[in-house]
């Protein structure tokens, strides 16, 4: 007999909970905010809406299904099973946070605070969950992800973008080239390299693209194509600026070889979960074979 599906409910600690935990009590947290001209009731109300959304989603899970909960901070220690259905209750960024830990499980994004989120990835309201859960495998969009693989087998996945550069965002020194570009390589000093997907084209990637005035077409979320940009490349007798932007097809790879004491690669803004690279190491970045299966 096969096991009933398991719903894994992913959420994060609210700003209100973090503030009260830091200051000890609601009153002390309220005093701290009031001294800075803010009212704690705004955070408390968002906290109540989030908790109400979690309760509504939990009540919508069929009684015969199994269920589990995981907080964002514990994602790297949670073991997802192949038959899981992942329900993310929160903001768009929380879907990106969980994406790299999955292997094809369907993800249902639920907006806990409509009107405050763009709703690109948390596309549904709590009231829709009961209808959507039984049919999640039939209503998914497959979104492209980006991966970085180091020469020591370290691997990093991201839904929006991967940043490679110096910890603390100081000047990074490295050699950059494309695997399919006949071996052309350029030594560079810059603020780092950003490689992003079509999903990331609504965030950091789009910001760099607009600032650069790039003629490259932004990819769609499901398109197996990435854009990459070198941030603030510095010209000098030893470093160049000719390879500063481009696109990567499904089979292409951008290669970066470290010429600094330490560089890092992190995805989707999560610097705490970074791949560390030392002098002489290389890392290849490109389209990931895994895709996020997001309920449409």
Contacts for 114 with CB less than 8 Å, ≥ 6 apart = 125
pLDDT of 158 > 80? The answer is yes
pLDDT of 165 > 90? The answer is yes
| pLDDT at 168 (0 to 100) | 79
Report the pLDDT averaged over residues 270-293: 93
To 5 degrees, how large is the angle CA 27–CA 94–CA 36? 30
* 141 and 296 Cβ atoms separated by less than 8 Å: yes
pLDDT-based confidence at 182, cuts 50/70/90? low
pLDDT-based confidence at 170, cuts 50/70/90? confident
Task: Identify the DSSP state of 202.
Answer: G
Under DSSP, is residue 63 helix (H, G, I), strand (E, B) or coil?
coil
pLDDT in tens, 197-218: 999 998 899 999 998 887 899 9
* 277 and 258 Cβ atoms separated by less than 8 Å: yes
pLDDT-based confidence at 114, cuts 50/70/90? confident
pLDDT in tens, 215-269: 899 999 999 999 999 999 999 999 999 999 999 999 999 999 999 989 999 999 8
Radius of gyration of the chain (CA): 21
Please give the Cα distance from 96 to 270 (Å, whole number): 10
Q: What is the pTM (predicted TM-score) of this model?
A: 0.88
* 80 and 6 Cβ atoms separated by less than 8 Å: no
Q: Which tokens hold the place of 185?
A: 């390589």
| pLDDT at 181 (0 to 100) | 59
169 vs 295, which has greater pLDDT?
A: 295
Give the mean pLDDT of the chain: 92
Q: What b/e sequence results for 25-56 when a residue is b if at least 16 CB atoms lie within 10 Å of its CB, and e otherwise?
A: eeeebbeebeeeeeebeebbebbeebbebbeb
243 vs 118, which has greater pLDDT?
A: 243
pLDDT in tens, 39-61: 999 999 999 999 999 999 999 99
17 vs 2, which has greater pLDDT?
A: 17
Report the pLDDT averaged over residues 121-134: 94
| pLDDT at 1 (0 to 100) | 47
């Amino acid at each position: 007999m096969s096991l009933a599906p398991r719903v894994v409910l992913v959420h994060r600690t609210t700003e209100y909970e973090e503030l009260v935990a830091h200051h000890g009590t609601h009153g002390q947290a309220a005093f701290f905010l009031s001294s800075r001209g803010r009212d704690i009731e705004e955070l408390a109300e968002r906290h109540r809406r989030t908790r109400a959304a979690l309760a509504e989603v939990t009540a919508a899970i069929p009684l015969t299904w199994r269920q589990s909960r995981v907080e964002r901070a514990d994602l790297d220690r949670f073991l997802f099973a192949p038959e899981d259905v992942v329900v993310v209750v929160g903001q768009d960024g929380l879907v990106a946070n969980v994406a790299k830990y999955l292997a094809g499980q369907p993800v249902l994004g639920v907006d806990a605070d409509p009107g405050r989120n763009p709703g690109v990835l948390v596309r549904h309201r709590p009231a829709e969950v009961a209808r959507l859960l039984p049919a999640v495998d039939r209503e998914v969009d497959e979104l492209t992800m980006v991966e970085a693989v180091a020469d020591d087998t370290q691997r990093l996945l991201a839904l929006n973008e991967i940043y490679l550069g110096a910890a603390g965002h100081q000047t990074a020194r490295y050699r950059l080239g494309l695997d399919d570009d006949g071996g052309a390589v350029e030594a560079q000093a810059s603020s780092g390299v950003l490689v992003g997907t079509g999903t990331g084209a609504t965030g950091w990637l789009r910001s760099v693209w607009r600032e650069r005035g790039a003629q490259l077409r932004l990819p769609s979320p499901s398109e197996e194509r990435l854009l990459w940009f070198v941030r603030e490349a510095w010209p000098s007798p030893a470093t160049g600026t000719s390879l500063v932007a481009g696109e990567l097809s499904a089979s292409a790879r951008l290669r970066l070889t470290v010429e600094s004491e330490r560089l890092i690669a992190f995805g989707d803004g999560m610097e705490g979960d970074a791949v560390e690279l030392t002098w002489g190491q290389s890392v290849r970045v490109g389209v990931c074979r895994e895709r996020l299966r997001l309920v449409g």
